[in-house]
Structure formats: C-alpha cells, structure tokens
C-alpha cells in the first residue's frame, strides 16, 4: 500500500500495483486494465477510496451517474456488491455501441438497480425519489458518488497511482517517463496523476486527451479538481504541500474528441487496431482509442523522438461474460440499445 491510502478510509478492492510493460521504442503501457481480479479499468482505484468512505460513514447503498454504457456505473455496481452495498445507477442516453448493451446486462447481473433519465431534470427527480425510498426503508440516505467517480475523494485513487508509478521507477521497472498519455472523461484520472506525480517529485508531463466536453472535461475543471484534491490531502496531513497548478506539465488536447462523447472516430478505430498489432492491447473507441490516437499522432509528428512515453491503459480487460440475462429483464427505456443498430464505426 502507498502512503495516500493510509490517510483515508480505503476499501481493499483493487489488486495493486498494476504492471508496467515495455512495448519498445521508448513506449511503455501501465496495465490499469487489470486493477481488479473480476473487473479492472481506471474506476477501481477511485472506488477503493469512494466506497471506503461510504462504508466508513455507515451507508447501505450508493447512487452514481453515467451514460447508459458507463464503465464507472458498472464498476461501482460490482464493487459495491462485494462490500455489501446496494448500487443505484442513474443513466442518461448515449450513442449506441455494442459495449452499451453489454455493460447494461453486466450491471444488472451485478445487482445494480438501473434507472433511465433523459436529461438533468429527469435524473434529479429520480435521485430525489431514490433518496426518499432508501431513507424510508433503512433510515439512511445513500452515499452519492458523482459521474466517473471524480470527486476529490475519488481522485485520491490516482494520486495514489502516481506514487505507485514513482515506486516502479525507483525499482527500475521503467525509466522516469517524460510524458504520460491518458484519456480524460471526468478528469479524475489525469488530474490525480498530475497532482500525484508533482507531489512524488517527478517531472513527467501529463497529456490528457479529452473524450467529453465541458463541464465534464475542460481547463476550468482541471484547476478546480486539482486544488480541491490538494486541499483534501493537506488537511489530512499538513506535510503535504499546497501546490500551484503545474500548467507547464499539463497538456489538454481536444482535437481527438470528434463529434462528441462515445462517438467513434476514424482515428480512434484505427488506433484501436494499431494498439492491438503493436502491443496486443485491447482498447475501445470511446476513451482509450482516442487517447492512443493522440499518442500515435505525436509519434508520427516526431514530438516523442528520444522521449520515454507511458500509455495509461484505463480500459478493463477482465472477462465478465457468463451472464445469461435477457435484455427484456431491464427497464424498458434501455431496450433500444439492443433493438437499434450500433453506430457504423463500431464493427
Ligand atoms: C471513465 C473512463 C476514462 C476516463 O476517466 P476520467 O477519470 O473520468 O477522466 C478513461 N477510460 C475508460 C476506459 C473509462 O471507463
């Protein structure tokens, strides 16, 4: 365990450290696809702190938010159940892809209660209803976890991850990276790494590839989240300094988003194929394909020449198949993800 996880309530759901693998030509991969034994990906690190907090506060249920195919809502469902907490997923529409139906079924199998709301107002009304029902039943309100798990408490998971990486550099498992490439959806991952790497005394630059738009991922959010998480750490241990935002070490890239969140682009689909050929990586088109496309672009442009680059793989590769649920068991609003065609680039 790293120092950060000792300062806060922490649920030991993650299998850490994750491996770092060399791909060749100064490229390494951080295998956060294997953060857990049943389900990996970047959300597990955040949930170790978020669910740890929920348990410490005596919650019996959690509510979280995401798009219909949310990896975060699924990870929350799986690990909440492991800790004996009921999970409510408040889900909004998204572009259809095979993973949407797959994650909905997996979430349902993991015991999540799935709610569909078409927009903010509908979701707010649902939250009020679920809060009342849970309180009426158990005398406690459910613990609320924001979309992507990117509250300062969740971001601690990636401050911790940066210390894990620093230890791997000290052990000689990889050279100190000049640059880390990582997808940015709700910014918890990239900002936790930025803060943690700075606190660990590393000079690594973080390149965040935006796969959503404001307010989920934008310059303003990066500052707010950085300072709020830094203050949380400083309050827990005043030997942890309050830092200025290290703008010279943070690259925020928006040109790989394409038409919008969860809409695959030609570049992301090509990057998924390339990552498989180059390194045997299994990526996808919403997050990691866009991040890897940025890395490939920068490499081709020569800006990574003579540099050590680390690709942070945030996408789960643990196999969750084996459920035999029928999609008609899901609330009816979700049936369209099984009955309508997926987007043309998801073949
Ligand atoms: C959620 C997610 C991200 C984005 O992480 P944030 O901390 O929300 O920026 C990246 N990749 C995958 C596969 C994800 O599920």
| Residue 40 pLDDT | 98
CA of 328 relative to ligand 1 center, distance in Å: 28
Residue nearest to atom 15 of ligand 1 (CA): 71
Question: Which atom of ligand 1 lies nearest, measured to the CA of 147?
Answer: 8
- Provide the percentage of residues in the chain whose pLDDT is more than 90: 96
pLDDT digits (tens, 9 = 90+) for 60-83: 999 999 999 999 999 999 999 999
CB 27 within 8 A of CB 180: no
- Angle at the Cα of 88 (from 59 to 185), degrees rounded to 5? 105
Tokens linked to 37: 């034994």
| Residue from 32, 180, 189 whose mutation best tests the ligand 1 pocket (most atoms within 8 A of CB) | 189
Query: Which tokens belong to 297?
Result: 């672009």
Pocket of ligand 1 (CB under 6 A): 41-42, 71-72, 148, 150, 183-189, 287-288, 314-315
Q: How many A from CA of 150 to the centre of ligand 1? A: 10
CB 86 within 8 Å of CB 113 = yes
Kindly indicate the confidence band of residue 1, based on its pLDDT and cuts at 50, 70 and 90.
very low
Other CB atoms within a 10 A radius of the CB of residue 2 amount to 18
| Residue 268 CA to ligand 1 centre (angstroms) | 15
Helix (H) or strand (E) holding 200: none
Q: Which atom of ligand 1 is nearest to the CA of 315?
A: 13
pLDDT at 190: 98
Q: What percent of the chain has pLDDT over 70?
A: 99
What was the pLDDT predicted at 322?
A: 64
Q: Is the pLDDT of residue 19 over 90?
A: yes
> pLDDT category, 215, cuts 50, 70, 90?
very high
Q: What is the pLDDT of residues 134-183, one digit of tens each?
A: 999 999 999 999 999 999 999 999 999 999 999 999 999 999 999 999 99
* Mean predicted confidence (pLDDT) in 181-205: 98
Give pLDDT tens digits for 228-263: 999 999 999 999 999 999 999 999 999 999 999 999
DSSP state of 303: T
Closest-lying ligand 1 atom to the alpha carbon of residue 187: 9
| Residue 225: per-residue pLDDT | 98
Pocket test for ligand 1, best of 287, 313, 320 (most atoms within 8 A of CB): 287
Q: Are 13 and 33 in contact (CB under 8 A)?
A: no
Q: How far is the CA of 189 from the centre of ligand 1 (A)?
A: 7
Closest CA to 88 of 62, 125, 106, 68: 62
In this prediction, residue 302 carries a pLDDT of 97
User: What integer pLDDT is reported at residue 342 of this predicted model?
Assistant: 97
Ligand 1, atom nearest to 158 Cα:
7
The pair of three-digit structure tokens given for residue 245, joined into one six-digit string: 């935002």
Checking if the pLDDT of 291 tops 70, the result is yes
Task: Give the least confident one: 20-34, 128-142, 309-323.
Answer: 309-323
Q: Whose CA is nearest to atom 13 of ligand 1?
A: 315
How does DSSP classify residue 67?
E
Gap from CA of 314 to ligand 1 centroid (Å): 6
The per-residue pLDDT for 321 is 73
Is the CB of residue 83 less than 8 Å from the CB of residue 55? yes
pLDDT of the residue at 323? 67
Q: What is the pLDDT of residue 3?
A: 79
| CA of 92 relative to ligand 1 center, distance in Å | 17
Which run of H or E residues covers position 324? Answer: none
CA 98-312-149 angle, to 5 degrees, is: 65
- For residues 79-103, give the mean pLDDT: 97
306 with 26: CB under 8 angstroms? Answer: yes
CA of 97 to the centre of ligand 1 (A): 17
In sequence order, the β-bridge partners of residue 66 are 91
pLDDT of residue 179: 98
pLDDT band of residue 345 (cuts 50, 70, 90) is: very high
Average pLDDT of every residue of the chain? 96
């Amino acid at each position: 365990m790293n120092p950060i996880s000792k300062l806060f309530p922490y649920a030991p759901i993650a299998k850490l450290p994750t491996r770092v693998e060399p791909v060749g030509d100064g490229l390494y991969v951080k295998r956060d696809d294997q953060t857990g034994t049943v389900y990996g990906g970047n959300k597990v690190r955040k949930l170790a702190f978020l669910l740890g907090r929920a348990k410490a506060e005596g919650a019996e249920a959690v509510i979280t938010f995401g798009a219909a195919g949310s990896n975060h809502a699924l990870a929350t469902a799986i690990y909440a159940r492991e800790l004996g907490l009921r999970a409510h997923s408040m889900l909004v529409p998204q572009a259809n892809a095979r993973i949407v139906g797959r994650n909905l079924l997996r979430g349902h199998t993991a015991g999540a209660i799935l709610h569909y709301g078409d927009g903010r107002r509908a979701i707010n009304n649902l939250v009020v209803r679920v809060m009342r029902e849970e309180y009426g039943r158990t005398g406690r309100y459910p613990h609320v976890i924001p979309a992507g798990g990117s509250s300062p408490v969740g971001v601690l998971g990636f401050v911790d991850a940066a210390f894990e990486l620093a230890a791997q550099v000290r052990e000689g498992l990889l050279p100190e990276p000049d640059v880390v490439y990582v997808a940015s959806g709700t910014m918890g991952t990239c900002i936790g790494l930025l803060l943690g790497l700075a606190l660990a005394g590393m000079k690594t630059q973080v390149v965040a590839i935006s796969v959503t738009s404001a307010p989920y991922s934008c310059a303003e959010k990066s500052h707010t989240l950085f300072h709020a998480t830094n203050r949380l750490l400083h309050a827990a241990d005043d030997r942890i300094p309050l830092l200025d935002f290290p703008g010279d070490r943070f690259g925020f890239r928006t040109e790989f988003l394409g038409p919008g969140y969860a809409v695959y682009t030609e570049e992301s689909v090509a990057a998924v194929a390339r990552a498989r050929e180059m390194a045997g990586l299994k990526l996808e088109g919403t997050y990691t394909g866009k991040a890897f496309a940025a890395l490939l672009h920068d490499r081709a442009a020569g800006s990574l020449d003579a540099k050590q680059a680390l690709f942070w793989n945030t996408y789960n590769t643990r196999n969750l198949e084996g459920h035999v649920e029928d999609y008609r068991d899901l609330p009816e609003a979700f049936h369209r993800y099984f009955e309508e065609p997926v987007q043309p680039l998801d073949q």
